[in-house]
Amino acid sequence: MNEAGHIESKVNWRIRGRRSSDGPAGFFGSRTVTLVVAIFVCFVGFATVGRAQDDVIRVETELAAFEVSVSDSKGNPVRNLNASDFRLFEDGAERPIEFFQPIKKQDKGRPLSIVFALDVSGSMTAAEIERLRAAMQDFIDRLGDYNSYFAVLSFAMNVQTLQSFTNRPERLERSFEKLASEQEGLSTHAYDAVDDAIRLIEKRSPKLARDRVPKRAVIVITDGFPVGDTVRPDTVIERANTAQTTVYSVILPSFSRLQRNGDPLLTPFEASGLMEKTGGKSFYAGRKNFDPLFEALAEEVTSTYAVAYYPTENRARARRDVRIEPKRSGLIVRQNRTTLELK
């Protein structure tokens, strides 16, 4: 083997090594690697005489990542699954799963980047705000064994950042103390708040934490009746999926309405598909106690998985339908998106 071929084989080995399910490298830097390798190949090509055509380095396409949650027939989150428990299909054809990472306690799994977006448009009483503070603090405590970062927004007519990303409990506690209902507010910009939360995640949350890709989520606490937004729901859904961010909603008891069978009526916020189309879920707050809700929410957020694969190299088809299924019967999979757009 000549010198150029020897270097090429080493570079190819390192690129293939990025496909390991043991780390997050496949999520970021693929284009950078392509550029660096291209420059490197040009240098070697000029420096080496008689290079063959088939010595050209070929870098595979970027990983396509999906956020996946799994529940049993009763709706309970399912933990401790592995990549071998799933099958992934692109346009009906099965593809290998190249990257898989769960959320686990301590340093063993993915960290969390979570934004609370709190509706203070007047729908909450002072007593509810106080109960909500305590429940959110308990939620944060439950996630204390994970490598977690939190931010806090409030919204009514305007969206305000009360606390950017931090893992210091005392800062979060001070931000909760700033919560106050805006009784004179004439609008509730819930979609604008989610949009701002996603932008905050993209700009301020850690891209990597201890060599792991964070689980990104927005938790919206609202009455479910947005008014006066400047951003359309479909735009927010697209932006959330591009940023790999799942949206969850907590519907406040003051405005919850029940059907004859006792189930809550669908609010306009839920009807937009924002939670469903980003892999999230809606929760309904009890009138006297928020604790069970936030306990269930913590279970839901921490039992998700990052699943990724390499799309087929057919640039004529920019749009792919991707479906992730469980191998075990009786399990239900939710994924943050079902369509992949290749650029």
pLDDT tens for 229-276 read 999 999 999 999 989 899 999 988 654 556 666 667 788 999 999 999
Our CA angle for 67, 166, 290, nearest 5°, is 70
List Cβ neighbours of 318 (8 Å cut-off, separation of 6 or more).
Answer: 341, 342, 343
Fold of the 112-302 domain? Rossmann fold (3.40.50)
On the question of pLDDT at 221 being above 50, the answer is yes
pLDDT at 265: 79
pLDDT at 63: 86
In whole numbers, what is the pLDDT of the chain averaged over residues? Answer: 78
Domain boundaries defined on the chain: 1-60, 112-302
How does strand 99-102 pair with strand 339-341?
unpaired
pLDDT tens for 288-338 read 778 888 999 999 999 999 999 999 987 677 889 999 999 999 999 999 999
Structure tokens at 167: 């893992």
Going by C-alpha positions, the residue among 298, 130, 144, 148 that lies closest to residue 210 is 148
**What is the Rg, in whole angstroms, of the alpha carbon atoms belonging to the chain?**
23
Structure tokens at 127: 């007593």
pLDDT at 314: 76
pLDDT tens for 103-153 read 887 656 688 999 999 998 876 677 778 888 888 888 998 887 788 899 999
Structure tokens at 297: 């929410």
With H, G, I as helix, E, B as strand and everything else as coil, classify residue 199. Answer: helix
